Structures are given as C-alpha cells and as structure tokens.
Structure 1
C-alpha cells in the first residue's frame, strides 16, 4: 500500500488548526468508510415503513418502542435484535431503499468511498433469493456513483455462527452475480467461532480473485487476529482493538500496514470498552497502526461516521488535526479502490486541510 506523506507544509497547517475547529473539520473532510453493515443502517422508521409495505408484524408497538430496545449488553444481544429488524427485508426494492438511505447519508457526511458489508444468509435463510438481495444493493451502489458522486462497493459476509458448509453454499449461490461484489468478509458472533473455522472457503474466495477481510479481535482474543492473517490471509482486520494485548502482533500489524477498521461507538455500545475516554484508538495510532474510524451498525449504535469521529475526538483530547488527517488518509490507503482514485482522494484531503489552515 502507498503511504501518504505528511509534508512539512501540511504538518504545519495541521498543527496550526485549533481544537475548537475540529468538530466541523471532522465532518467536512473527505474520507472513506470501510466497516459498515448495510443491514445495520436500517433505521426504525424505515423498518416500520417496510414492515407496512410487506405486511410484516413487528414485536414492537412503535418506532419509539423499537429504538428503546437498543440497549445491548454484548455482541449477541445486539445480533438478536439486528436479525429481527432484518425480517422486513423481502423484496429487491427493500434492499435498494436500505442501501440508498445509507448512501445519501454518506454523501451528506463527505464520505467519498464506502465499502458495504451485506449478510446474504440473514435473508436466504428466511427464503429471500440471493439475487433479490444483491440486485437491490447493487442498483443503489450504481446509482450513488452517478447521482451522489459517492464511490461504493459491496462485500459479501459469511455468518460465522453458521457452518463453513453453509458459507460455501452461499458463495456458490452468489457467483452468478460475482460482478456486483468485490470481496468477502466474516462477521456475526465472534466468540467460539474462530477464523480457522472458515479456512477452506476463504481459500476458494481468494482463488476467485475476491478480496478477503475478517472481523477479529473485537470480543475474540488476539489469537483470532493471528488466525485471520495466517489462515484466511485477510487483507484487513475489522475491529482488531484487542491487538494491543499482544506486543508481537502489534509489531507485525504495524510493519505490514495491516488496516484495522475501528468502530468506537460500536465498541462502547457492545461493552468492549467502558467509555470513549477509555478507548485505545490513540494507542493504536501511536503504535503506527493503519487504523481508521467507521460506524459499524450506525442505526443501532447511536451514530454514523461523523458522529463517531466527533464524539471520539471530544472524549480523547490527545487526538487533534494530525490524527484526523491520519485517520482519513488511512481510510483511503486501506480501501480496495484503484491507485488513481486513492491518489485523487488523498490530494483532496491534503488540500482540504491546507485550505482550512490558510
């Protein structure tokens, strides 16, 4: 990966920016989002609208009652309600509407590139054909590029609480629509489902030329990160915050510029950290790791990308304009976009901060 250069002029510009300007700069700087579960962007209002359209009865009396249920004690308690919310997604138009709502939000938040996770097994296990899922999402992605100026791509995720055989079946079912997704990921319940469980299916995905990423080191131990690297050959580690428990792993991640797609508000909502003030994002950056901020499941975790950035920087005063630039730069570096696009986005980012300090 090409690493952006912090020139003396840019460094001086970043150092000249006062902390009071950070919230606005975080919201308006160009950036990429690489850890976003599209089903996790399904807001209660849209859930109820789709439920009415599709004749689905929800176990909640109102939008307010559903939102009040978003009190999670761990990853599994979140997943239980996450899958219930996804039950309203039945038609191609539903998947389009869900993705389009997020992509409009992305455009408003100055996200120039987004790589969206989707969980086909959540839908195919309910009898929704996989082509309905992929075609609806792909139509939104294509339209976003032309109408919103947002570059976007899809990453198909396997649910790790299901079997590797089920993942193979999902992969084969998706291959007729291979042109619409750029890679595969691994998500859902981490504890008890190590990356090694999916070694063979990830090997098949690499043979097909797909990018591969994996959730590891969120609730699971650093050993899961090692497995994701050694057995799955993951090109990014989604979350990865527990890597600091293993100094040798930190050195390895730093030396290889292995991206960590960190999700601060998610980490608080799911009790990975007690508070944002105790989050280890500054330590990850200080260790030279290619970390960036993302929103994970923003409808459930209390904020989209800009809110994650603003709240995290407010809680961690050691983060300043240099770190803002670094996080955005890392997001471009870690994306699966081509080198020319990355260079254009990086130039926009550098110009943005130089202009802001002028």
Structure 2
C-alpha cells in the first residue's frame, strides 16, 4: 500500500527524464487543434474516438497510430507547441532535466524540412529553460525499420545542426532489426564525437542488449527489461554501470509485461543496475513521469530508498556535466537523510 508520504515524495523529488519521444507526447486535444490549423482531416471523429484507439497488442500496433498522429506536424509552430506542452508537464511534475528523442525520418519522409522540426523543438526548450529552469539535451533517433543507408543519409543531413545534439539513438520496431544492422552509422556517430544510445531488450531478446553495447558502443540502453532473462548480462550491466531507461507504463501497455506486479524494475535495482523510470510515449501509454513512478511504487511496493535511488539514477545516467549531476544527487539524498 502506497503511503501518503511516498506519494508526496514521488511528486516533489527532482528527476530527469531520459527516455521520451517528443512525438509520443502528442495529446489528442493538441493533435486535433493542430490538424484543424493545418487543414488536415483526421480519420477519428473526436478526441474520445482517438483515445479509444489507444489499445495495443504489441509495439507495431502502437507505431502504426503513432506515425499517423505525427502526420499532422508540418510547421515550426507545430513542433514548438508539441514540445512546449510536454515541457509544461515536466515543470508540473518536478522533472528538472529532460533528454528528448525525436524521429527526423518520420518527418523528412513526409517532406517536412528538418529546420521546421528542429527549430520548433529547440525554441520550445529554450523558452522552457528561461521560464521554468528546465535543462535539456536533444537526441535524434534513427528508425530501425528503415535501412541503414537511410540512417546514414539522415545523419549526414543532421550534421548541419550538430551543435544542438548530444547523442544519437535507435528506435522503432525491434523485431527483425537487430543492432548489427546499424553498426556502420553508429561508427560514424562516434567518429563525429557524439554519444550513442539504443532501444534494446524491449520486444527483442537480451542478446540485443549485448549487441547494442558491443557493436554500437552505447552509453545507455533504452528499455533493456529483457536483460532480466540473462544472469551474466545482469552482472555485466552492474559491473560497467550501464544505465537502463525503463518505461513501466509503456511495458504494460505494449504487453511486454502482462501485469505491473510482474515488472522487473525492482529486480534490476536489486542487481545493482542503474535503472531509471521514464514515460516513453506518455500521451499513448497513460501517464507522464509521476504516473510511471506511482504505478511501479504501488505494484512493486518500493521503499523510500528505492524511490530516491531511481531519482538519483536518472541524474547519474544523464548527459549533464558531473558537477550538475552531483548537485542534484546531493539534493535528492538529503530528502531521506
């Protein structure tokens, strides 16, 4: 049973979000507003009709509706409004730093100019930093269901905006698209001085986590919950302090786990893994950061120490400067000292 004290702790503890797709924060109300502004007709009759479609049996069913929603995003103002709405949620939920994913190919394949996407996202981040003090990093992701050649082409185009990015990532359909498929483009990413992250071990096996580390040389694993199936991998993740950006409500909604009580998050913590809590695609999966914390806290009966560890891990695993990490980790530690 969650105590009132724990509820308050989750709601007020400083946190950073390391796994959120900006296109996945697209709330139905905003989607309809932007569609109307851009004179685009959605196939759904109402906000309620759209929300009713958010029932998924697997990752691919979600991706189909996710990409359909992104179709209405055309102009810089659209990406600004989308990003600013997400950052307002961060402010309300004590997310003081966020490292935002976006999918360039989702938009360039619709002939939306990259500058529309990037300028809108960046300006919203700058405004949120000025208004609310939220810091940020931007991480473009390659779509793994497309070819590596397409990823390389996209990477070269993104280099014109390179000073705005900290890392590059890999997302979309994991099944049938292992990390090895993108080995060359990630070599190019590292050669240009960027960090790398990758989705692995969500629908795919624990071997994909090994391959993301060994072949793509990632600094973080996104999801990684299938690591629980490989004891040797768990030991290695703890040894090298490889962070996992875990997304509980996403895992439940996409049936990676059938019940939140079966979620491996607590076991990952017990194996001394740098696990973190994140929202992934919160508009589709039923909750932003605090909702994810509350869900696992209720189901897994986390201790105050577990909650503080998860929050501290989010800063430890971030791409913030060490001095800033330690400042926040110290503030978090003082909450239960």
Q: TM-score normalized by structure 1? A: 0.93
> 1:244 aligned to 213, 228, 234, which one?
228
Residue matched to 1:118 = 102
Residue matched to 2:299 = 315
> 1:262 aligned to 222, 246, 255, which one?
246
> 1:74 aligned to 58, 61, 64, which one?
58
For 1:310-349, list aligned pairs within 5 A. 310-317=294-301, 319-349=302-332
* Contact 1:218/1:239, CA 8 A, preserved across alignment: yes
State the Cα distance separating 1:79 from its structure 2 match: 0.2
- Residues 1:225 and 2:225 are matched in the alignment: no
Residue matched to 1:6 = none
* Contact 1:116/1:153, CA 8 A, preserved across alignment: yes
Q: 3-state DSSP class of the match of 1:306?
A: helix
- Residues 1:25 and 2:22 are matched in the alignment: no
Q: Give the whole-Å Cα distance in 2 for the aligned partners of 1:147 and 1:345.
A: 20
* Contact 1:159/1:187, CA 8 A, preserved across alignment: yes
> 2:276 aligned to 268, 292, 309, which one?
292
Q: Give the whole-Å Cα distance in 1 for the aligned partners of 2:230 and 2:330.
A: 35
Aligned length: 336
Q: Give the whole-Å Cα distance in 1 for the aligned partners of 2:111 and 2:249.
A: 33
Note the alpha carbon deviations across 1:22-63, whole angstroms, 9 max, x for none: 111111100110000000000000000000010111000000
Residue matched to 1:99 = 83
State the Cα distance separating 1:316 from its structure 2 match: 1.2
Structure possessing the higher relative contact order (Cα contacts under 8 Å, 6 or more residues apart): 1
Q: Give the whole-Å Cα distance in 1 for the aligned partners of 2:128 and 2:99.
A: 12
List 4+ stretches of structure 1 deviating above 6 A.
none
Q: TM-score normalized by structure 2? A: 0.98
Structure 1: runs of 5 or more not aligned:
1-17
Q: 3-state DSSP class of the match of 1:154?
A: strand
Q: Give the whole-Å Cα distance in 2 for the aligned partners of 1:207 and 1:172.
A: 12
- Residues 1:206 and 2:185 are matched in the alignment: no
Alignment RMSD, CA only?
0.9
> 1:196 aligned to 180, 188, 195, which one?
180
Note the alpha carbon deviations across 1:66-95, whole angstroms, 9 max, x for none: 000000000000000000000110000100
Which shows bigger deviation, 20-29 or 65-74? 20-29
Q: Give the whole-Å Cα distance in 1 for the aligned partners of 2:41 and 2:142.
A: 27
